[in-house]
Amino acid sequence: MFNVLQHRPLLVAGTAVRRGAAAAPARLPVMQPARFAHAAPAQQRPSVRFNSTGSSGSSGSASSSAPHLEPIDPIPYLLTGVAAVAGIAGSVLAYVYLTDTRASVYKWLGMPLMHALYDPEEGHKLSIWLAKHGLVPRERTTDDELLKIQLWGKTVTNPLGLAAGYDKHAEAVDSLFGFGFGLVEIGSVTPKPQPGNPKPRMFRLPQDKAVINRYGFNSEGHGESWFQGVDATAVTKTATPPRNRSLQPDRLLGVNLGKNKTSPADSNDDYVAGIAALGAYADYLVINISSPNTPGLRALQRREPIERLLRDAKTARDTLLPAGHRPPLLVKIAPDLGDSEIEDVAAVVASVGVDGVIISNTTISRPDTLASDTKLSREFGGLSGPPVLPLALRVVSRFYALTGGSVPIIGCGGIRTAEDALAFAAAGASAVQVPGLVHDIKVGVTDILSKRGVTWSDVVGADHRRA
């Protein structure tokens, strides 16, 4: 009979034998003293693995030894950590720098690149798009008390504003205030949408740091796209005292009103419509009768037409807008007016009771000092930039003298430096409008005022007091 037990293999010290056979003597591992373990050749050391139960098994040999753990080199991990911290810190610093109006990269790199890569109108559109989406720097400093002014019964943090013509469709108002302007003026806006003049219609004069444009009041009209999301009537209902329409403390939003190209030359209806539609959104309203790119518009600067227009505009403001919000009414005039025309405008403004004047718009003249290519300088349209400064300054000074400083003037035209801005103030401008990033001019004005020991308001009209 077959005996299963006799034929069942046995395991003796890891060796299979049959019952009844002589078992081979077991080989027991010889443990070397720890102090000699290092002397064993690397290929003879068993590699140790730990299984899930915590016991170890050896591979490559039946013998086993104590676990051998390779030391961890900390240097790569330290370098990785340092690199991560440096990257985060660098990103934060870059963000802080690039989102600050004091960053010189915009002046020395950003603007030259834009001028090199884009034609004037496309560069203009790109800058508005960036501002609209908040991809522009913001001012991180506060205005000095030396700059604070009172204008139409309101405190304004600084007298430096942005002229109409840049943000024509009110797309980037908050970002523009973020640049540090005390006043931002949008438009011009016409009642009906119109495309403006054919392209090209904007030309740079690089040697003169000037621009010629003939946009022709390109406008989206009084549509619902204007100031979307802003409840104009709720602005004053929920705040005591009433908040500015700019929704910014001590900063004012102006709305510049234009006339459609197809409207009758002797009709004032477009301006009345603009007051009715947009007056509720404005801290001040501007009647623009000085653009050179709308046929017949500048003819409104003659005494009879301008008086009729301003009376109609004032009546519209006083009757069509609520008594709790009747924004100051200003008129914008050209720098090309002769002395008799300036006298007519001053007389009408005083007679009608207009709240202010913006001096000036672009010029149709071409000064002999222009150094750019004559092919560019002879383009039809309004010239802006430094060549306009002496023309505008003359009109500001003359108007201030005629009105005795009783009518606030906003000076505009060719201002690029702190000295330019203060020259307008001394001639009689209560505030000025400047192009581009305002920070450098503001710092320069503050430094000059501080050294003189005076405020901006002290400087306004100083030329006339010395005379």
Catalytically active residues, by annotation:
291
Q: Name the DSSP class of 297.
A: G
Q: Classify each residue of 166-203 as buried b or exposed e, where b means 16 or more C-beta atoms within 10 Å of its C-beta.
A: bbbbbbbbebbbbbbbbbbbbbbbbbeebebbeeebbb
The amino acid that residue 156 corresponds to is V
d(CA 412, CA 428): 12
- 349 and 407 in contact (C-beta within 8 Å)? yes
Conformational region of residue 99, where left means phi above 0, alpha means psi within -120 to 50, and beta covers everything else: alpha
Give the number of other Cβ atoms within 10 Å of residue 34's Cβ: 9
What string of H, E and C letters represents the secondary structure of 378-409? CCCCEEECHHHHHHHHHHHHHHHHHHCCCCCE
Q: What is the DSSP string of 403-435?
A: HTT-S-EEEESS--SHHHHHHHHHHT-SEEE--
d(CA 315, CA 148): 32
The interaxial angle of helices 389-403 and 418-427, nearest 10 deg, is 30
Q: What is the DSSP string of 47-113?
A: EEEE-TTS-EEEESSS------PPPP--HHHHHHHHHHHHHHHHHHHHHHHHTBTT-THIIIIIHHH
Give the β-pairing of 47-50 and 252-257: unpaired
d(CA 291, CA 298): 7
Question: What Å distances lie between residue 358 and 155, 264, 284, 362, 363, CA to CA?
Answer: 19, 25, 12, 12, 14
Please count the CA atoms within 13 angstroms of the CA of 222 that sit on its side-chain side: 21
Q: Which residue has the tokens 């403006």?
A: 196
d(CA 211, CA 384): 5
Consecutive H or E run containing 130: helix 120-132
Give the number of other Cβ atoms within 10 Å of residue 451's Cβ: 8
Q: What is the DSSP string of 174-185?
A: HHHHHTT-SEEE
Q: Which pair of structure tokens corresponds to residue 106?
A: 């915009």
